[in-house]
Structure 1
Amino acid sequence: MFPGNNFYPTWLFIATWETMSFANNTGNATFQAVLVSNGTDASYIMLNYGQIDSTDQYWRAGYEAVDGSYSFIPETDIVRLSSTSNVQIPGRWAFQVAAPVVVTPFVPVTYAAETCSGSTGSLSLSRCQLFEAGYSVDVLHLNDQSCKGEVHNDRLVFNFDSNANMCGTTLENNATHIIFKNNVGTTDGIGVISRTGGLNIAFSCVYPLIQSISMPMAFQATGSVISKELSTEGTYQIKMIPYPDSQFMHPYSGSVTLQTNQQLYIAVEVDQFDSNQIALVLDKCWATPVDQVDYNIRWDLIINECPNPADGTVVVMQNGVSTSSRFSFRMFTFTSFNSNIYLHCQVHLCLLSSGNCAPSCNGELNRRRRSVEFYDSAAITMGF
């Protein structure tokens, strides 16, 4: 095929696809990819085409290498691949490449599935695809090489849990999100690194920093939960719960009547996160006479993470130290309105490692300014 070339191969690789079905099951194709090299300065790629049925599916014949080089066969009819050639052998297309052929297995990202829930995350990969790409189960791991995958239903699943085993997961934050990051890779040198023939799949769980929740307070106490789900992002829940006393042991339930000037205790909690890593911070809380967050008539209870100095009944009992924040105030009514009040809070998540989660009020409004902007809103309702 290449006259005058004194070529002595040292290795050969052949992959055959026999009667492979088209995506729409309207036909089949049989073909081969052949790699041959002398291991030093000369290599060849041969594509051999057998019986191929006609199809209306999009197709392209040829090869593309990991270094970006490629060669596509100039044929417009898929059936003719079996009878045409560039080396006078029907059905064979051969290409000479100057450098040795380096085979780098590739695992399509489309075969990876990721799930996130609070401080936990998982990545599952098709065991079949890993096998076809040349990766055995025992060589893959998370950043922590002791964290191997487990086989479930023909998939290899990798898990991390900040409450049990972080497995090398790193925790970061930017202006709008908290991010848990990890990688699935091969044992190659020290840590998880990307080398020729290696595998490195990075995945992350992303959560918005800021949320807004509302609790309408009427005459019946019913529990309520908001569950936030972000497309391809993580999920978590925020709860707003009323209590009758500062012990926060038994929340209100059933039919309850509150008197004006009666102290009410509120807990705002986020679940599925490690309280040693993540803190929930009350940015501001306010009440309105109607069930509308941005109603023009309002009464502020917490401003800039601290009690409103105009309301001496507000006490912030816990804020920015764990996944639960607590405050209390005395019940009131809006003049010229009915007796209902609707309570709203804007909160954000904070990394405790930053050392800047718990506010320092000292009798004055907290003057800290954040670079974060309001990112996401949600409302929960609780008749009370």
Structure 2
Amino acid sequence: MRYPEMRLLLGFLIVAHLGEAAGAMTCFAGNATYPLCADEAACGGGSCTATVGCYCEDPPTQCLPTAADGCDSSTNPPTPCCPEGLFWFPDLQCCSEEFYCDPQCSANEVCAFASGQALCQCNNTFYLPANRSHIVPTVDCRSDVMTVSISKCLLERFQYSASNMHLLENNRTECSGVTYVDIVNNERILFKQVPIQNGWCGTTFSLYDGMMTYTNALYIPPDLDRPIIISSALNMSFSCTYNMTMQTSLQTVLRPLIRTVTPPDVNGAGSAQAIMVAYTDEAFTTPYQAGYELTVGSPFYIGIMTTFADGDNFTLRAERCVAAPSNASYDTNGVDLITDGCLLNQDVNTQYVTNGEYLEVRFKMDAFVFQDMPEVYIRCDVRLCKKQTPDVCKCSSS
């Protein structure tokens, strides 16, 4: 989310703030008031403690430490390493007159010194033109996971507790899902990943007109640590919709044999993938390599897989497979191997290993050639089917 009318003001503030730290960071060299702890002549040997900071032994005055003197700003609360007005710089392991955040803050944050260290904090002035209607998550739909994302600082602008955001159903350990923070387009974004699996921590799915939709919801509570609560909790539903039909093809059994086809997204929501591979062995473990020669009549094995993750509710079924002498879509000179999910009793010997039972289709066939044509192409239509019957020749609800 961007607010052009704030650009000039924020640009000036950020440049002014970072101008002092733009050059190389340097250690404060020490003076008569604050000598170096390691300077035996001026300090008589110094050390740091977690409660009082760094002091000389003789005379007992504050001194400037290095890491060797026991300063550790990573403790909680941090050791007060440096005197007032100086800042501990971890990379140089010394006190400096300047501070800056590493890594640098995003466009909607400012670098501030807090809890004894430089931290990136949300800059609420960045969101002055915003209102609560701008709090809208974005959903990325993939075949195995849906990822919902939302601006961390936008939530904090309206005093929501971004760190306590969770799925609506959150009474099991696994419901925490995968949550992480990343910088996207120079803005700090919260991401939560949810597996494509019906029943996983409140995820539901529905079927309609050849489409399947997975739905869950985010719960974002207000920040209850503030003296005044200005926002009500948010319950934000999100979903991903997928087309249940796919098409994949085997390029040729004598050339590169793996081909992946991604059908167009449904309403820009998501897509599933199907991959076809030819194997040399009945264990389906050794793919054919480019240039491998087949003998007519010898067996080979075809596997069709999908990366779609919900194997508890869906299986993969080959609806139609055709072998043809060209790569044209269903060449009229081709031979049907599978129609309506069933093997055809034709001259080409084809046998199922599995179809419509798991998220992988497997079948065996004997190699053949078309008259005066050196290549054979195999193309299949496959479908995700709702699990209701073990009969591979039927797909009761798809």
**Category of TM-score, reference length = shorter chain:** 0.5 to 0.7
Cα pair 2:221 2:234 within 8 Å, conserved: no
Greater relative contact order, per chain length (Cα 8 Å cut-off, separation 6+):
1
Greater CA deviation, 201-210 or 142-151?
142-151
Cα pair 1:276 1:322 within 8 Å, conserved: no
Cα gap change, 1:151 to 1:301, in 2 (>3 Å)? closer
Q: Which of these residues, 101, 106, 124, is aligned with residue 132 of structure 2?
A: 106
Cα pair 2:197 2:203 within 8 Å, conserved: no
Percent identical: 22
Partner of 1:173: 207
Task: In structure 2, give the amino acid aligned to 1:117.
Answer: R
- The structure with the largest strand share of the pair is 1
Cα pair 2:348 2:366 within 8 Å, conserved: no
Which whole-Å CA distance do the structure 1 matches of 2:156 and 2:309 have between them? 35
Using the size of structure 2 for normalisation, the TM-score is 0.57
Unaligned runs of 5+ in 1: 1-19, 28-104, 189-195, 373-384
Alignment of 1:14-53 (within 5 A): 22=5, 25=8
The residue matched to 2:251 in structure 1 has which SS?
strand
Cα pair 1:280 1:325 within 8 Å, conserved: yes
Cα gap change, 1:159 to 1:219, in 2 (>3 Å)? closer
- Is it true that 1:216 corresponds to 2:251 in the alignment? yes
Cα pair 1:278 1:323 within 8 Å, conserved: yes
- Is it true that 1:116 corresponds to 2:147 in the alignment? no
Cα gap change, 1:255 to 1:21, in 2 (>3 Å)? closer
Alignment of 1:194-233 (within 5 A): 197-217=232-252, 219-228=254-263, 230=265, 232-233=268-269
Query: How far apart are residue 23 of structure 1 and its match?
Result: 6.2
The residue matched to 1:167 in structure 2 has which SS?
helix
Partner of 1:300: 336
- Is it true that 1:129 corresponds to 2:129 in the alignment? no
Which whole-Å CA distance do the structure 2 matches of 1:201 and 1:164 have between them? 18
Partner of 2:165: 140
Cα distance per residue 1:245-283 (max 9 Å; x no partner): 322121211421112222221000012514333311111
Partner of 2:305: 269
Cα pair 1:107 1:129 within 8 Å, conserved: no
Q: Which of these residues, 280, 283, 286, is aligned with residue 244 of structure 1?
A: 280
Cα distance per residue 1:217-245 (max 9 Å; x no partner): 25334433334562732244321111123
The residue matched to 1:220 in structure 2 has which SS?
coil
Cα pair 1:305 1:359 within 8 Å, conserved: no
- Is it true that 1:157 corresponds to 2:191 in the alignment? yes
Cα distance per residue 1:315-368 (max 9 Å; x no partner): 111011111111122222223x4121111100011233xx14x4344xxxx5x6
Task: In structure 1, give the amino acid aligned to 2:5.
Answer: F
Which whole-Å CA distance do the structure 1 matches of 2:273 and 2:287 have between them? 18
Using the size of structure 1 for normalisation, the TM-score is 0.59
Q: Which of these residues, 320, 343, 348, is aligned with residue 284 of structure 1?
A: 320
Aligned residues: 259
Task: In structure 1, give the amino acid aligned to 2:249.
Answer: S
